[in-house]
Amino acid sequence: MKQDSQITQELFDALLEWLSPDRDMAGRKYEEIRKGLVRFFLFRGCDEPDTLADETINRVAKKLSSFNFEKNVQTITYFYSFASNIYLEDVARRKKRVVFDDIERNLAGVTIHPAHRAQDAKLQCLEECLRQRPESERALVIRYYAGEKAEKFEIRKAIASELCLNLGALHTKVHRVRALLRKCIELCLNKGSL
Amino acid sequence: MAITDSKLRRYLLGDLSEDDARETDLSIISNTHSDEDLELAEHELIEDYLEGSLTSGERELFEKNFLISDRRAGIFDELTLLKQYAQSAVPTKSLFEPKTESTENYGFWRRLLGANAVPVTGLAVVILIFLGWISWKVLDNSTDPFKALENEYSDLNARSFDNLEEYRSFTNIDLTPGTFRSSQTLPTFEHAKLSDNVLFRLALPGPMPEGSLINATLRRNNVTVFSQEKLRVYKNPESDEVRLIFPKAVLQPGRFQIKLEGPSSSSPQMLYAFAIQ
């Protein structure tokens, strides 16, 4: 997304002053608001949450002098109204993408799409990467993802109980393993494509 | 106000009223819910989609409103890979070593049965196994309506499909391997238009050794509904393929996946996806 022009130092100072007369407190509030905006854009499915959050803050800063503070609206509500508009602008800008692997059928004959080979390669890399991890992590990944529907929930409860974790902590643990696997798979795929 | 799980799911699908969406937006901006909670909700939604647990309306919303960022596409890809791997992997041992049995129970039974503990226990085990076998035979046919059909079609699929002209009157479905994850690209066929027997031609990714025999498993909405074993591989100008017939009776509306497994345990699995509506 192309950002509007950056705000001036004067506008930025006015924004901080509005957040709090205490500069340190203003800085903390600014960071909290920015993180909240990034989270908003992220979980609304936007690809550039940081850029959109900065754009929101820039527009608020530029319009600050025109706000009617007598209405006693919460600070966050000002940011939210701008963020909502920027979100809608982002949606309009993004065209619907086909983000899935797609295999083209040739009805006259049979063709193998490269995406299938890519999936095979990823699976092989995943297997190799799991072999490099401790056996307990491999077992964790297999048990965590093998089940489906209601059975899956029971399995995960059982794993959490075995590891003396709640479900949220278990998810975090698996999330960390996945992050390590992701890096390993990327390296493996890059090696394979050389 | 805390967001309920179901409300968060509907938020991610873009299925909330304006007021509720606004309330949830503000809740997210104010950090009422942790990032971990929000990410967990995203992952659970993706897994439900992959497992066929979403309604058709939810699937549509998922594809239109949820899976619209590179980040989510990456998570989707990753979870698909992990589930595919996990479901085909041999179960490994538990995360912990199994606890050793306490000897107290053995002592109790020994006291109860006295010197005849071993032969009596042995006889009881034999009886239980026999009863279990009887129950399995009774239940197997009653709970699996397609079991008898599988045997029948096993003979049918053992015949030669060299002359495809003989099967002109059958609905022919040609599939290439891969994972279709968009309803816009999933090959879809109308149930009403299927012939009673449907000939599937499944392209293989490469040439197979002479005389290879392939096993096929048909899954509908992630539940196995039909299997066939020892299927022949046929040559055609483009590549090798497997040819087999499924009865229309098992091809009820739903999302399907055919899994082919090669002749050895080291052969890759091949997956074919389609839908019947």
Q: What is the mean pLDDT of residues A67-88?
A: 86
Name which of A156-170, B32-46, B259-273 the model is least confident about: B259-273
pLDDT, one tens digit per residue, over B163-185 is: 888 888 889 999 888 654 444 56
pLDDT digits (tens, 9 = 90+) for A89-120: 998 887 544 444 443 333 333 444 455 567 77
pLDDT level of residue B104 (50, 70, 90 thresholds): very low
Residue A31 at interface with chain B, using a CB cutoff of 8 Å = no
Q: For residues B263 and B240, give the distance between their C-alpha atoms in angstroms, rounded to a whole number.
A: 14
CA atoms within 13 A on the CB side of B191: 12
Asked if B177's CB is within 8 angstroms of A112's CB, the reply is: yes
pLDDT, tens digit (0-9, with 9 covering 90-100), for B129-164: 666 565 555 555 444 556 667 888 888 888 888 888
3-state DSSP: chain B helix, strand, coil percent, rounded to 5?
Answer: 45, 20, 30
B28, B92, B203: residue with CB nearest A139: B92
Cβ of B29 within 8 Å of Cβ of A163? The answer is no
B residues 69..88 contacting A (CB < 8 A): 69-73, 76, 78-79, 81-87
**Closest Cα in chain A, distance from residue B124 (Å):** 31
Binary contact (B36, A171; C-beta < 8 A): yes
d(Cα B72, Cα B46) in Å, to the nearest integer?
A: 9
Rounded percentage of chain A residues whose pLDDT exceeds 70:
83
- The C-alpha atoms of residue A118 and residue A122 are separated, in whole angstroms, by 6
| Smallest CA–CA distance from A139 into chain B, residue | B92
CB contact under 8 A, A42 and B185: no
Interface check A162 vs B, CB under 8 A: yes
